Copies of this chain bind each other. A is one copy, B any other.
């Protein structure tokens, strides 16, 4: 296409009211799963984050890393046992979780952010005892339930001018480490930080009336209509817990929660800095 620099300038100017809306506010972005697998998509997401950060928006990145964990467990020949479809996380497994999330995925994201001109600091829920947790269910081993969230380390890192990148692992006072669901962690962090917006990146087209037709995307859902949507099967499968985390964030006071298709290039910028809503936004009342 033939876009002139005059067009470019006009487009920058059109972003003005959106930039103003978010300046100085906190946006928490939950990033993970297969949307994080493609290097090209990862680059696109990271550039969006760096741009938001440069225009004065405080971005907090919370990541999971299920596929990388699975890969590493396979590599070391660790077989997983499942209880009710959930992976039992024994000591050896949680060690791998910590290592992969805090060592591989986290520093990898920090590295790309910095290669794109941002300034980042990677933390885990262990650093500054940010995420305190306990056993969710003894049968599942080191799968954690958050008991106390201390966002001071995140604020400290923002205050020093870095983009905080956070691995969802937790700890307790006895020195145990826990695998924490990243959606849950992101929701609670967004709530505790009084974030303006929580964006949850997925690798699906969002919530569709007809799951086979991307043009049937539901743009806005009032949280009170969710039970009905679950009942009717429109929200189903792995999307159910994700939507429930979104609701929780709304209940705790986050103004907007958006589920966004991470496979669309620059979906974060389009959602935040243009008039187009390309994800599903959850609101209250």
- Seen from chain A, the residues whose Cβ lies within 8 Å of a Cβ on chain B are 1, 3, 5-17, 19-20, 23, 47-48, 50-51, 54-56, 75-77, 95, 98-104, 106-107, 110-112, 114-117, 119-124, 126-129, 153, 156, 159-160, 162, 169, 171, 173-175, 177, 264-266, 269-270, 273-276, 278
Pairwise interchain contact A17-B126, C-beta atoms closer than 8 A: no
Contacts A9-B273, A76-B76, A124-B122 given; indicate if A55 touches B114 (C-beta within 8 A): no
Give Cα distance in the complex from A233 to B103, angstroms: 40
Pairwise interchain contact B175-A111, C-beta atoms closer than 8 A: yes
Q: A12-B266, A15-B51, A103-B103 are in contact. List 7 more A-B contacts (CB 8 A).
A: A8-B269, A8-B273, A12-B273, A98-B104, A120-B128, A122-B124, A159-B160
Give Cα distance in the complex from A117 to B23, angstroms: 12
Contacts A101-B103, A126-B122, A160-B160 given; indicate if A14 touches B8 (C-beta within 8 A): yes
Pairwise interchain contact A99-B103, C-beta atoms closer than 8 A: yes
Pairwise interchain contact B278-A5, C-beta atoms closer than 8 A: yes
Pairwise interchain contact A127-B120, C-beta atoms closer than 8 A: yes
Pairwise interchain contact A48-B99, C-beta atoms closer than 8 A: no
A103 CB contact (under 8 Å) in B54, B77, B98: B98
Give min CB distance, A271 to chain B, whole Å. Answer: 9
Pairwise interchain contact A19-B54, C-beta atoms closer than 8 A: yes
A12 CB contact (under 8 Å) in B11, B265, B278: B11
29 examples of A-B residue contacts, CB within 8 angstroms: A1-B7, A3-B11, A5-B274, A6-B265, A6-B266, A8-B270, A9-B265, A9-B269, A9-B273, A12-B15, A13-B47, A13-B51, A13-B266, A15-B51, A16-B51, A16-B54, A16-B116, A54-B55, A75-B75, A75-B76, A102-B102, A107-B177, A110-B127, A112-B175, A115-B174, A120-B127, A121-B123, A122-B124, A128-B162
Give min CB distance, A119 to chain B, whole Å. Answer: 6
Give min CB distance, A160 to chain B, whole Å. Answer: 4
Give min CB distance, A179 to chain B, whole Å. Answer: 13
Interface centre among A56, A104, A264 (most CB of B within 10 A): A104
A55 CB contact (under 8 Å) in B47, B56, B107, B264: B56
Pairwise interchain contact B153-A13, C-beta atoms closer than 8 A: no
Interface centre among A10, A101, A153, A169 (most CB of B within 10 A): A10
* CB-CB nearest in chain B for A50: B16
Give Cα distance in the complex from A191 to B104, angstroms: 29
* CB-CB nearest in chain B for A128: B121
